[in-house]
């Protein structure tokens, strides 16, 4: 008699895979990287940490490779996301764009005004006016996801759409206001590379390799041109086709843009952004006094994020709803919209990046910017989580909610 066949042991679910597939994981990883950077920067390892960042690998320091190289890939991913949402996603129609677009405009303007009010008499620090205007989509969505079903899905869509429009505004600010001395030759070469990329798109080329090779050349020319190199990532993204491959008209999900975005997702969320956070969040608190915490630059950044985003996002959204220009996110009430507006004050990645550009030659000002960002983002995240935690889940119908706002 044959022995019974033993079933194969069931393969346990990979803890790593579960974590990578978790919606909040990217934000949690970034939080961990930032916390680790602060610990290392205030430990006996601080000299090694700062020394490694300033060490040179070829023509650039490690810090520059991260901020100009890896972050160009991050901006490529952001650009792909923006293009997809505008053409085929939550922002594909004007009614869908109305509420997050108006809220994003308020959420960029009010923080900038608060920062400017603190720094109006100092042209050196006024240059950082755009620092508190940004929202960190990974951090904010990470905190929102921790609340699970307590938050309506419509609010997650609203926050994601707002953050994407916010990113688009940040890209425009970086390109216009934080360019260095421009090189006409390299700008011309960059334009030629961009024209070649557009020609690939118009010719129906669906393979990613030609786009990435030309994109690398575009990055090099932009790096040398005086415009910040990360803009090359966004420019490349805009040329990657969002259409089905030839012979497969119904397979839009297999478009070059979708394929590239999918391949970059985990690398950006769990590699590039945490590395950037670890490299730039480290600030030594040795010798930091109460005067430094109450410095107008630090306060302008912190209050711009904490107060400016709340007033700007919630105020603009409420006005748009009352004016009949947009509807309340389905199933959401006033208190939940307040909580999400607070989460928009988490400006970590983009705010740090703009701060580095604004004060590229002044490490002391960079440290004050980092303190302001950590304080403002931390408080905004905690308060936003607390408000959404206590906000009632049973809310009025969307029409009634609009009238109450």
- The 3 state secondary structure assigned to 323-362 is CCCCCCCCCCCHHHHHHHHHHCCCCHHHHHHHHHHHCCCC
Of 269, 260, 319, 272, the C-alpha closest to 83 is 260
Predicted pLDDT at 10 = 46
Could you tell me if residue 148 is left (phi over 0), alpha (psi between -120 and 50 degrees) or otherwise beta? left
Angle at 269 between CA 266 and CA 274, to 5 degrees: 130
* pLDDT tens, per residue, the chain with 405 residues: 455 555 444 444 455 455 545 556 777 888 889 899 999 999 999 999 999 999 999 888 999 999 899 999 998 998 898 888 888 877 777 777 889 999 999 999 999 999 999 999 999 999 999 999 988 877 887 788 777 777 887 888 888 888 888 888 888 888 888 877 789 999 999 999 999 999 999 998 999 999 999 999 999 999 999 888 888 999 999 999 987 656 565 556 678 999 999 999 889 989 998 999 999 888 888 766 667 778 999 999 999 999 999 999 999 999 999 988 888 887 788 899 999 999 999 988 889 999 999 998 898 899 899 999 999 999 999 999 999 999 886 445 544 544 445
Predicted pLDDT at 9 = 47
3-state DSSP assignment of residue 61: strand
Predicted pLDDT at 12 = 47
CA 36, CA 38: separation in Å to the nearest integer? 5
Predicted pLDDT at 45 = 94
How buried is residue 294: exposed, middle or buried, by Cβ count under 10 Å (0-12/13-18/19+)?
exposed
* Residue 361: CA count within 13 A, CB half-sphere: 4
Phi, psi of 322 (to 5 degrees): -65, -35
CA 8 to chain centre: 44
User: Going along 102-238, which residue ranges are E strands?
Assistant: none
Alpha-helical regions (H) of 42-70: 46-54, 62-64
**Quick one: CA dihedral 381, 387, 393, 397, positive or negative?**
negative
- The secondary element (H helix, E strand) that includes residue 82 is helix 71-88
CA 332, CA 314: separation in Å to the nearest integer? 13
Predicted pLDDT at 300 = 96
Predicted pLDDT at 250 = 55
Predicted pLDDT at 21 = 55
Answer whether 380's CB lies under 8 Å from 305's CB. Answer: yes
CA 195, CA 147: separation in Å to the nearest integer? 45
């Amino acid at each position: 008699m044959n022995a019974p066949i033993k079933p194969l042991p069931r393969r346990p679910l990979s803890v790593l895979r579960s974590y990578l597939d978790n919606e909040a994981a990217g934000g949690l990883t970034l939080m961990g990287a930032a916390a680790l950077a602060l610990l290392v920067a205030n430990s006996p390892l601080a000299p090694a940490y700062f020394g490694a960042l300033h060490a040179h690998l070829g023509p650039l320091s490690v810090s520059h490779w991260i901020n100009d190289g890896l972050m160009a890939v991050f901006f490529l991913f952001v650009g792909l996301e923006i293009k997809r949402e505008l053409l085929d996603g939550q922002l594909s129609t004007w009614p869908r764009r109305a509420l997050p677009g108006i809220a994003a405009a308020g959420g960029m303007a009010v923080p900038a005004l608060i920062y400017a009010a603190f720094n109006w008499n100092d042209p050196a620090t006024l240059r950082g006016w755009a620092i508190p205007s940004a929202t960190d989509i990974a951090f904010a969505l990470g905190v929102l996801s921790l609340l699970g079903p307590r938050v309506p899905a419509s609010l997650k869509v609203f926050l994601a759409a707002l953050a994407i429009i916010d990113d688009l505004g940040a890209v425009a600010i970086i390109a216009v206001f934080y360019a260095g001395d421009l090189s006409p030759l390299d700008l011309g070469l960059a334009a030629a590379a961009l024209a070649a990329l557009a020609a690939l798109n118009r010719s129906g080329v669906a393979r990613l390799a030609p786009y990435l090779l030309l994109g690398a050349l575009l990055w090099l020319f932009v790096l040398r041109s005086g415009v910040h190199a990360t803009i090359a990532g966004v420019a490349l993204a805009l040329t990657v086709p969002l259409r089905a491959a030839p012979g497969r008209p119904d397979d839009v999900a297999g478009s070059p843009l979708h394929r590239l975005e999918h391949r970059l997702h985990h690398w950006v969320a769990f590699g590039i952004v945490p590395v950037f956070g670890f490299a730039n969040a480290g600030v030594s608190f040795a010798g930091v006094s109460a005067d430094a915490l109450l410095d107008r630059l630090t306060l302008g950044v912190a209050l711009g994020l904490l107060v400016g985003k709340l007033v700007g996002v919630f105020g603009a959204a409420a006005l748009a709803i009352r004016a009949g220009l947009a509807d309340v996110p389905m199933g959401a009430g006033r208190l939940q919209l307040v909580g999400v507006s607070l989460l928009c004050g988490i400006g970590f990645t983009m705010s740090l990046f703009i701060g580095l550009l604004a004060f590229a030659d002044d490490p002391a000002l960079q440290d004050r910017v980092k303190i302001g960002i950590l304080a403002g983002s931390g408080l905004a995240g905690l308060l936003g989580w607390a408000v959404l935690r206590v906000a009632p889940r049973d809310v009025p119908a969307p029409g009634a909610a609009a009238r109450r706002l």
